[in-house]
Structure 1
Amino acid sequence: MFYMQLQEIPRVKTISREDFVSRYVKPQKPVVIEELTRDWGAYDKWHLDYINRIAGDRMVPLYDDRPVTHEDGFNEPHARMRMHDYIRLLESEPTNYRIFLYNLMKEVPSLQEDFQWPDIGLRLVKQLPMLFFGGENSKVFMHFDIDYSNILHFHFHGRKQCVILPPDQTKYMYKIPHALISREDIDFDHPDYEKWPALKKARGYIANLEHGQMLYMPEGYWHYMKYVTPGFSMSLRSFPRNPANLVKAAYNVLIMRHYDNFMRKRKGQAWIDYKNEQAVVRTHRELGMEI
């Protein structure tokens, strides 16, 4: 259960291109569209047994919820296994292993025949349909995306809880310097407000997605995802419309992540420890909460 100040994300069953752009994209507000996928082949087919049948032999990268160390490369997987072994694991017991940002569409092109590129007023990047898988109660740490994209996040097979916060809440999030994440030792299900008092001021949104539903996440939104049941999701992306966010995205991709990798190699775990400390120091200092 969450104790931050969260409101339910608005929901519509369907929406026109014009209304989606005027009511949500331009003001940068989230929305859940419940029936956007009803006429897709994916709506009937995209369950774990189907993925197992057509992609079971593929080797897939796996991630868990261990804290970042200086030995980890940027988005470097923690393990690998065949998809059919991973799906068997998902269906047999809770697991922290997740598939993250995996271009299964490239590996299994027939999947592209199961969905349609929505004519919804965003210029979607056709090269980047990414899939994400997770087991019961597995969690995706609180973060925002490196490229500040507008994201259409579709969920399949089961239920998923999504907590998102707009960029103006960054000052409360204990953001790690030179990174895209909050402190990894924060339990966002049950925040310790004595240890993390700034979180009491954070305001965001929450939604529970079911099979076939889509969440629109605007540019630079923080998000924390929890798989209530085993399942998987697909994200379609549109580069930021805001010029300032384009600049931030370029900085993240071209400078920030390379600098961070350099410092990890140079200073080792001391660099990670320093950043974790600074996340607290800088957050409390900016809010006048020196403790």
Structure 2
Amino acid sequence: MELNLDQIPREKTLTKKEFLRKYFRPQKPVVIEEFIGDWPAHSKWSLEYMKEVAGEKTVPLYDDRPVKHDEGFNEPHARMKMRDYIDLLKSEPTKYRIFLWNVLKEVPVLQNDFTYPDFGLRLMKGLPMLFFGGSDSHTFMHYDIDLANIFHFHFEGKKQCILFPQSQTKFLYKIPHSLITREDIDFANPDLEKWPALKHAKGHIAQLEHGNVLYIPEGYWHHMKYITPGFSMSLRAIARKPKNFGKAVYNIFFMRHFDNLMRRIKGQEWIDWKNEKAVSKTHDFLFQK
């Protein structure tokens, strides 16, 4: 038995009016296949090009090890020169990923290769972020701390994206006081006997290739798996729904600080309690249905 996932709709291109009517207002995801053909990045951006323009930069790397109580919020697991990291990506599978790497801050020349598209939303122009990964590397299922509207532009290789709306959180084994689900769930191939609530979750799936754009609506859970080595860039716009905006403010100004405080006070006991609570809370809801 597999997850209940619908294919995300695909459009060759969309006007602003069409995007707002068909996808933004109803908060539905979409893959736009040929939207950025006029960007210099469409023809220029590859792993080899990134090695050329950013090879000397030291980059933070993350893998899929579980969260530890003594690690800070988004603390990297390793560091490496970009050129060495790209050589590693091309030579063998690796769990190491780069995420939330600020284009404007790290390699300003890259901003000449793209423009901020007019989707009818005000994009945050100081926050174009790059994400890199090797074959079979993946993110944990998570949603972004600010519950933003995300436009995810993929370059080189293939990437699988699984999305769930916030309405499905009750089935996903969410960790309390965090933005992730249980880290030992493989959403690309889940054990539905061990995690029975997932049978009830209704989500979406798509595979991205070079030049595709994925719109991820406000607060959607997302799991990204690199089928082959590649990278993506995300642009974002703040949450428009009052409920989501309020949750974003809570996450940023209270939740993450409270979680860090409890890690310092309780240590690994806090992490273990959260993991247990994710299961008990989900199963309590499931079996009371």
1:74 maps to which residue?
73
CA deviation map 1:92-116 (0-9, x unaligned): 0000000011113311111001011
1:11 maps to which residue?
10
CA RMSD of aligned residues (A): 1.1
Once residues 193 and 18 of structure 1 are traced to their aligned partners in structure 2, the CA distance between those partners, rounded to angstroms, is 40
CA deviation map 1:96-151 (0-9, x unaligned): 00001111331111100101100111110001000000001101110011000000
1:272 maps to which residue?
271
TM-score (norm 1): 0.98
Once residues 271 and 98 of structure 2 are traced to their aligned partners in structure 1, the CA distance between those partners, rounded to angstroms, is 24
1:255 maps to which residue?
254
Matched, 1:210 2:209: yes
Q: Is the 8 A contact 2:140 2:183 kept in 1?
A: yes
2:179 maps to which residue?
180
Once residues 187 and 83 of structure 2 are traced to their aligned partners in structure 1, the CA distance between those partners, rounded to angstroms, is 31
Identity of aligned residues (%): 63
TM-score (norm 2): 0.98
CA deviation map 1:34-72 (0-9, x unaligned): 011100000000001110001000010000000001011
Matched, 1:192 2:191: yes
SS of 1:252 mapped into structure 2: helix
Matched, 1:42 2:41: yes
The runs of 5 or more residues in structure 1 that have no matched partner are none
CA deviation map 1:208-256 (0-9, x unaligned): 0000100000001000000000000000000001011110000000000
Matched, 1:165 2:164: yes
1:152 maps to which residue?
151
Matched, 1:56 2:55: yes
Letter in 2 for 1:3: E
Once residues 66 and 152 of structure 1 are traced to their aligned partners in structure 2, the CA distance between those partners, rounded to angstroms, is 27
Once residues 164 and 190 of structure 1 are traced to their aligned partners in structure 2, the CA distance between those partners, rounded to angstroms, is 14
Letter in 1 for 2:37: R
Letter in 2 for 1:91: K
Once residues 196 and 176 of structure 1 are traced to their aligned partners in structure 2, the CA distance between those partners, rounded to angstroms, is 14
Letter in 1 for 2:174: K
Once residues 202 and 227 of structure 2 are traced to their aligned partners in structure 1, the CA distance between those partners, rounded to angstroms, is 22
Once residues 112 and 190 of structure 1 are traced to their aligned partners in structure 2, the CA distance between those partners, rounded to angstroms, is 37
SS of 1:277 mapped into structure 2: helix
Letter in 2 for 1:131: L
How far off is 1:289 after superposition? 5.2
SS of 1:276 mapped into structure 2: helix
Q: Is the 8 A contact 2:104 2:126 kept in 1?
A: no
Letter in 2 for 1:72: E
Once residues 33 and 154 of structure 1 are traced to their aligned partners in structure 2, the CA distance between those partners, rounded to angstroms, is 9
Once residues 221 and 47 of structure 1 are traced to their aligned partners in structure 2, the CA distance between those partners, rounded to angstroms, is 28
1:241 maps to which residue?
240
**4+ runs of 1 displaced by more than 3 Å?**
none
SS of 1:140 mapped into structure 2: coil
Q: How many residues align?
A: 289
1:104 maps to which residue?
103
Once residues 143 and 207 of structure 2 are traced to their aligned partners in structure 1, the CA distance between those partners, rounded to angstroms, is 19
